[in-house]
């Protein structure tokens, strides 16, 4: 069993003013991304085994501003008082003093035009503030799986580290993927649709010590990630649903820990340091999962659903009734992709045909990955090269 946390940025006006004075690259428009808190240090990683903790974060205060790139406050990011693990997400500058407050979230939030133009971090926070239903995030691992998930209409996406490692590197989830692998994949997925659903991304155990973790936090935020979690396993980590995991000690999060009580204790410590959401991994029964929600209420928890993994499978409806606020399905897309591709390859080898359904044409596949939008952009620029595609 292991815990994780989500962490949000503070509303530090002094820092906001400082960042605002360091703007560069004026231009058309772009969502502003600003850090307002410290990244986790290596002695406070989260999400691992018998007990651990991870986090996701989201920003505040939506506003469309002139294009601005803001520098990370390195001193704040690596301050001496940072002894916790957390997710850090890009934040926004607050709206002008004379602007009206944003309307409260509604059940129809995702369909709201204003919501569509918010940055991913703010979307994630708005979704968390809404209490009528759980946020379901399917696990995606590449551009195609992300496009398919978006076409179905999910409110959020989760970029799985295991799936990214398998699809990008063809390797198991054993700390093989490095920061550049994960950041590049996350940036590509986050920018497939700038107005699409917020993306929560796996950041494994942080890829190194405090300085490397701070760099990872900055790169994830600039990539457009809305939230991410960091684990409490040692750097030679493995998938949370494999046996033999080690976590870092309690003092430095470099010791092995096991058991529900220790797991909840770590989550409470992370919560008290400002994490937005907790993640409980490896629960043994449904009752234990429900108990964690009660024990940590009203702090929101995220549930990681792994089919055929170490924990019993919980449906979306069950998770919502228990009180979970976010639910991710880390390996669902990867598992079904394996089943489908293997069946097709076996049919091709044995029968000499693939058996692809007639409605799955090349054009259909290209439409999934943005053919219509690309054609619209070309035509809007006066082109006609793809008008008959």
Name the pLDDT band for 192 (thresholds 50, 70, 90). very high
Strand partners, 73: none
pLDDT of the residue at 141: 98
State in Å, rounded, how far the first CA of the chain is from the last one.
52
Average pLDDT over residues 251-276: 74
Nearest to 222 by CA among 196, 182, 183: 183
Phi/psi of residue 20, nearest 5 degrees: -60, -30
296 pLDDT above the threshold of 70: yes
pTM of the model: 0.71
What whole-number distance in Å separates Cα of residue 43 and Cα of residue 253? Answer: 5
232 pLDDT above the threshold of 50: yes
pLDDT of the residue at 37: 38
Torsion angle in degrees (nearest 10) through CA of 64, 146, 328, 199: -20
pLDDT of the residue at 67: 35
275 pLDDT above the threshold of 50: yes
CATH classification (class only), 2-96+106-337: alpha beta
Nearest to 77 by CA among 40, 105, 114, 31: 40
354 pLDDT above the threshold of 60: yes
Average pLDDT over residues 235-260: 54
Question: Between these two residues, 374 and 44, which has the higher pLDDT value?
Answer: 374
35 pLDDT above the threshold of 80: no
71 pLDDT above the threshold of 90: no
pLDDT of the residue at 138: 98
Domain boundaries, the chain: 2-96+106-337, 339-380
């Amino acid at each position: 069993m292991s815990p994780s946390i989500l962490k949000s940025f503070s509303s530090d006006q002094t820092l906001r003013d400082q960042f605002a004075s360091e703007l560069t690259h004026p231009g058309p428009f772009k969502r502003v991304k600003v850090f307002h808190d410290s990244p986790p240090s290596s002695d406070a990683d989260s999400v691992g085994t018998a007990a651990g903790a991870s986090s996701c974060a989201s920003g505040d205060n939506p506003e469309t501003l002139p294009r601005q790139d803001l520098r990370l406050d390195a001193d704040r990011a690596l301050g001496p008082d940072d002894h916790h693990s957390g997710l850090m997400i890009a934040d926004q500058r607050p709206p002008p003093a004379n602007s009206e407050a944003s309307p409260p979230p509604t059940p129809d939030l995702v369909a709201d035009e204003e919501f569509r133009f918010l940055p991913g971090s703010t979307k994630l926070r708005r979704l968390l503030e809404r209490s009528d239903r759980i946020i379901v995030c399917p696990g995606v691992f590449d551009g195609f799986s992300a496009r398919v998930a978006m076409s179905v209409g999910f409110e959020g996406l989760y970029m799985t580290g295991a799936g990214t490692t398998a699809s990008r590197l063809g390797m198991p989830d054993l700390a093989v993927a490095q920061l550049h692998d994960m950041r590049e994949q996350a940036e590509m997925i986050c920018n497939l649709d700038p107005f699409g659903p917020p993306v929560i991304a796996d950041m494994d155990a942080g890829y190194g010590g405090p300085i490397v973790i701070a760099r990872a936090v900055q790169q994830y935020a600039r990539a457009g990630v809305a939230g991410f979690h960091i684990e409490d396993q040692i750097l030679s980590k493995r998938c949370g649903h494999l046996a033999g995991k080690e976590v870092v000690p309690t003092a430095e999060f470099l010791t092995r820990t096991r058991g529900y009580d220790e797991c909840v204790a770590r989550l409470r410590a992370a919560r008290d340091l400002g994490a937005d959401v907790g993640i409980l991994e490896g629960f043994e029964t449904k009752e234990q999962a429900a108990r964690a929600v009660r024990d940590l209420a009203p702090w929101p928890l995220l549930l990681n659903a792994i089919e055929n993994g170490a924990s019993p499978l919980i449906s979306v409806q069950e998770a919502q009734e228990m009180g979970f606020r976010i639910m991710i399905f880390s390996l669902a897309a990867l598992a079904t992709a394996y089943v489908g591709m293997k069946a097709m390859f076996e049919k091709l080898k044995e029968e000499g045909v693939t058996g692809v359904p007639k409605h799955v044409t090349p054009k259909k596949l290209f439409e999934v990955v943005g053919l219509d939008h690309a054609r619209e952009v070309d035509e809007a620029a006066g082109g006609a090269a793809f008008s008959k595609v």
